[in-house]
Structure 1
Amino acid sequence: MDPHTFTYSIVVPVYNSVGVVGTTVDRIVETFEAANLSYELVLVNDGSKDGSWEVIAQKARNNPRVVALNLLQNYGQHNANLAGLRESTGDYVITMDDDGQNPADQALVLIDEAMTGKDVVFGRFERKQHAGYRQLGSKMIGMINRRVFAQPPDLVVSNFRILRRDVVDRICASRTAYPYMTGQALMYSSNRSNVLVRHEARQVGKSSYNIAKILKLVLTILFSYSLFPLRLAALAGFAIAGVSFLLGVAYFIRALFVDSPVEGWTTIVVLLSIFNGVTIALLSMLGEYVVRTLNAVSAHDTYHVLDRVKV
């Protein structure tokens, strides 16, 4: 397929990157202009406190191909990406970071791979320029992705990716209260691949993605997209119920042969053991149904747009 027959939307979540986001925008514009590709650049300010909004708003005023969205507060990268996806109009949507670690020219590498018929292409970094704890966090999330979203073992995912419009539409129509772009891209696509891309060191500032946010993402994935924690709790409930029942039987048999010094003590222990065990098992099962119901009805807005700048 000829890449010049399609339009492209580049979505960039922006958070506290006043010192580098202007350069990132300029490089993206230069790259797509030089390649003579039809594009739009959607910049989403995710509650920055350092003047990033003023920078991207001015970029939008100066360039009709640039759109700037200002979110009401910091909702997180995945909500910012979702806002950008819903704003986008391109046949393909590329998501990338605001810090320059995803070189703009590497977006063309993603496009070339997408032209082979893939509906999702993830950038696979030659060498990731991240701290050790972030690489460990990526491995942990990768394990969860393989379990929850059936990520193929030979597929490496990243936030630097290109999505075909039909995949984007499915993600935008999703009713989840906790967007997770990577997992949703895996859920709503069928023909994915990797392509090798560069990953450059951050030139200005430092990443706000810390261990706490990685753990929060892990918990969000587990409790929003998987029944594994509830099933584990249900299994534990049934195990406790079984042990309680056996304990009650043991005390009942003991009472037949050995007199208890306290009248009625054996009866109370047996009844409490059985009823508490059954209660735990029933609560575990009810919890699974509650989560299924919540997932079905969670359709509230997960972000709010405060300002929009487009010439």
Structure 2
Amino acid sequence: MVYPKYSFIVPIYNEEKTIPEMYRRISAVMEQLDDSVELILVNDGSRDSSLKLMRNLHQSDPRVCYLSLARNFGHQIAVTAGLNFARGQVIVILDADLQDPPELIPDMIQKWRQGYQVVYAVRTQRHKESWFKRFTAYLFYRLLKRLADVDIPNDSGDFCLLDRQVVDVLNSMPERNRYLRGLRSWVGFQQTFIRFEREPRFAGDVKYTFSKSLALAVNGLVSFSKLPLRISTYIGLLAALTAILMGFLVLYWRIFVPHSPLTGFTIILVAIFFIGAVQLLCVGILGEYVGRIYEEAKGRPLYTLGEVGGFSVTGKQLEAGFKSLSENPR
């Protein structure tokens, strides 16, 4: 079987308003390329008519394939599903909201032809985003760069080009709590970047709310740094030293200032609350790591498939736990 040279992966969650324009712009790029292309649309449990639109595109354009996850598994898992099924030698990941401009793909491919196996896009500006979103994103990327065990580039999202060799390595990684831009840096290979200005989404509502962005940030930090565990140890040592110091102060006040109010019930309450807060903080940090061990130990598949269009599910994929309820669209 002859496979396409290029694979474009687009995760989709409730994007019925953007899919027609997204397909128009991506298909225009596909027409410019020198070889065959497949467009892989991954439905991440959408509740609108996104899946219906994906079926229609598949029926009208054989280059369009789609995967429909049985429920919402999250953006990172949806991208992972696309990587598992991508058949090209060059794989491009981009979002459906058109904040990742498809018109940059030829520039990425040019970098690939120069020998680079990973080409990621770096955001130079974020148009029409709140100052709070820009500030927290700026702060997070720089904090992660300082704390992570690998060099994760600042202001780089999931918009990237990956060589087949890189994708094979990523697909061999079994971990569940996936932070793809970190894994992309961890695998190594020849990497470079291109710069672009991030436009506002074309239509629809923002899918990465503050809570989801925070969860992704915590996942990235915990997945690629052991420093929070060390920090909890340092905080515990600091609390112990503070407790010893407070003990000497209470003894001093009791002997030399017997009528001081600081030797009574107030100082005891302050000490209890302080030590309790430190303990809860350290237990919370430890819980984040233990929770990931628990998730990995269960050994469940990363996702389940409800519908597949344009692919034949292989025995290897079934052994890995990628269940398909129906291979053809209804």
Query: Do these two structures clear the TM 0.5 threshold for a shared fold by scoring above it?
Result: yes
- In 2, Cα distance between the equivalents of 1:126 and 1:244? 47
Q: Which residue of 2 aligns with 1:264?
A: none
Pair 1:57 & 2:48 matched: no
Match in the other structure for 1:66: 64
Change (3 A) 1:42 1:72: same
User: In structure 1, what is the equivalent of residue 144 of structure 2?
Assistant: 145
Relative to structure 1, is the Cα distance of residues 164 and 99 closer, same or farther in structure 2, using a 3 angstrom cutoff? same
1:7 is matched with 5
The range that moved more, 199-208 or 226-235, is 199-208
The one-character-per-residue Cα deviations of 1:225-278 (angstroms, maximum 9, x if unpaired) are: 3222222212222333444566678899999xxxxxxxxxxxxx9xxx9xx99x
Match of residue 14, structure 2, among 13, 16, 34: 16
Identity of aligned residues (%): 26
Q: Report what 1:185 is aligned to.
A: 184
For 1:188 and 1:164, locate their aligned partners in 2 and report how far apart those are by CA, in whole Å. 12
Shift of 1:211: 1.7
- Listed as ranges, the matches of 1:95-244 within 5 Å are 95-125=93-123, 127-132=125-130, 133-147=132-146, 148-151=148-151, 156-197=155-196, 199-244=198-243
The CA distance in 1 between the partners of 2:123 and 2:293, in whole Å, is 39
**Kept in 2: contact 1:122–1:162 (CA 8 A):** yes
Is 1:307 matched with 2:274?
A: no
Cα distance in 1 for partners of 2:201, 2:176 equals 31
In the TM superposition, residue 25 of structure 1 has moved relative to its aligned partner by: 1.8
Match of 2:74 in 1: 76
Between the aligned partners of 2:23 and 2:216, the Cα distance in structure 1 is 27
Deviations 1:59-92 (A, max 9, x none): 1222222211111222221111111111111112
Runs (4+) of structure 1 moved beyond 6 Å? Answer: 246-255
How far is the alpha carbon of 1:305 from its aligned partner? 1.5
Of 45, 49, 53, the match for 1:47: 45
The two structures have a TM-score, normalised by structure 2, of 0.74
Distance 1:129 1:30 in 2: 24
Secondary structure of 2:157's match? Answer: coil
What per-residue deviation string (whole Å, max 9, x for no partner) do you get for residues 86-110 of structure 1?
Answer: 1111112111010223232211111
Residue matched to 2:263: none
Distance 1:292 1:84, change over 3 A: closer
Instruction: Give distance in 1, aligned partners of 2:99 and 2:292.
Output: 38
- Measured in 1, the distance between the counterparts of 2:123 and 2:241 equals 50
Query: Residue 92 of structure 2 aligns to which amino acid in structure 1?
Result: I
**Structure 2 vs 1, CA of residues 298 and 246 (structure 1 numbering), >3 Å: closer, same or farther?**
farther
> Match for 2:150: what amino acid?
A
SS at match of 1:158: strand
Q: Relative to structure 1, is the Cα distance of residues 307 and 245 closer, same or farther in structure 2, using a 3 angstrom cutoff?
A: same
The whole-number CA distance in structure 1 between the counterparts of 2:94 and 2:159 is: 5
Q: Report if the CA contact (8 A) 1:43-1:68 is conserved.
A: yes
Q: Are the aligned partners of 2:41 and 2:54 in contact in 1 as well (CA < 8 Å)?
A: yes
Aligned equivalents of 2:140, 2:253: Cα separation in 1: 50
User: How many Å apart are 1:298 and its aligned residue?
Assistant: 6.2
Which runs of no fewer than 5 residues in structure 2 stay unpaired? 255-267, 312-330
Aligned partner of residue 67 in structure 2, secondary structure: strand
In the superposition, the TM-score normalised over structure 1's length comes to 0.78
The DSSP-based 3-state class of the residue aligned with 2:102 is: coil
Displacement of 1:293 = 5.3
> Following superposition of structure 1 onto structure 2, how do residues 251-270 of structure 1 map, counting pairs within 5 Å?
none
Structure 1, gaps ≥5 residues long: 1-5, 256-268
Q: Please give the alpha-carbon distance, in whole angstroms, between the structure 1 residues aligned to 2:159 and 2:96.
A: 11
Higher RCO, 1 vs 2 (CA within 8 Å, ≥6 residues apart): 1
**Aligned-pair CA distance for 1:124:** 2.8
